[in-house]
Structure 1
Amino acid sequence: MEKVKFEIEIPVHASPNMLYQYISSPSNLQEWFADKVNSRGKIFSFIWEGTEEKAELISKKSDERIRWKWLESEDDESYFEIRIQVDSLTKDVSLIVTDFAEDEDEVEESKQLWENQIDELKHTIGA
């Protein structure tokens, strides 16, 4: 079954440089995204409540974006990406999250989960 791609945009009052540190380094990801985060090379281990999920770092561009692919979903096109967008006129900064849900019914739930995670990030950095 084909996964459903979705994207959400959340304004964050922080510098792109600071945000990038929080979306790319295991120790900073651990402060808002997962209970524990480890990396060995391109493989990141994300641990929530004792459950470990592994993802491969596919691509990153400093101060701009980072993209991972869950190892368990090797046979599909899904990934998750966190992108930092700066409005050229207003200089407002937003995080744009692209992810995939199992089906149409899970899209809203997945979006809510990301919004909660980003709220945790905002709280962590005081944004």
Structure 2
Amino acid sequence: MLKEKFHIEFLMGSATQASLWRMISHIDGLSEWFADEVSISEEENIYTFVWGKSQNQAEIISQKPNQSIRFRWLDEEQENVYFEFQLHKLELSNEIALQITDFAEPDEKGDAITLWETQIENMKRQLGVL
């Protein structure tokens, strides 16, 4: 079944752009909320994410420093499937928003969104902005 793209956006309270960029792009930041352990290859474009006894690898396919980073799972069969974190400042409030783009099968989209909501709540807790 083909996966469908979806976007979700989270307001990040008083978190700074720099602190959010660290959380979405650096191995120490990602290991605080996204996975139990994160490591990076010597080539610095393959990340290994560990959750308990399972692991998965993703390649950085694009990056704009302090703005966005896009990963593609190495075991993903569908060529145009990725997940991306984008940061942008809201004009009226000057608050930073984190937009996530991901893909899921239609019957799994709700579960994927719930998982992202839980993960972002963990990130906010680590940043002290809950």
TM-score, structure 1 length as denominator? Answer: 0.95
SS of residue matched to 2:75: helix
SS of residue matched to 2:32: helix
Deviation per residue, 1:33-68 (Å, 9 max, x gap)? 000000012000000111010000111111111110
Consecutive aligned runs of 4 or more in structure 1 exceeding 4 Å deviation: none
SS of residue matched to 1:78: coil
Report how many residues are paired.
126
Match of 1:120 in 2: 122
Distance 1:10 1:116 in 2: 12
Match of 2:51 in 1: 48
Distance 1:92 1:56 in 2: 29
Distance 1:74 1:17 in 2: 33
Q: Counterpart amino acid of 1:10?
A: F
Match of 2:17 in 1: 16
Q: Counterpart amino acid of 1:119?
A: E
Identity score, percent: 38
1:80-95 superposed matches below 5 A: 80-95=83-98
Deviation per residue, 1:53-90 (Å, 9 max, x gap)? 00001111111111100001154210000111211232
Aligned CA RMSD, in angstroms, stands at 1.0
Distance 2:78 2:93 in 1: 41
> Which of 102, 106, 114 is equivalent to 1:99?
102
Structure 2 unaligned spans of 5+: none
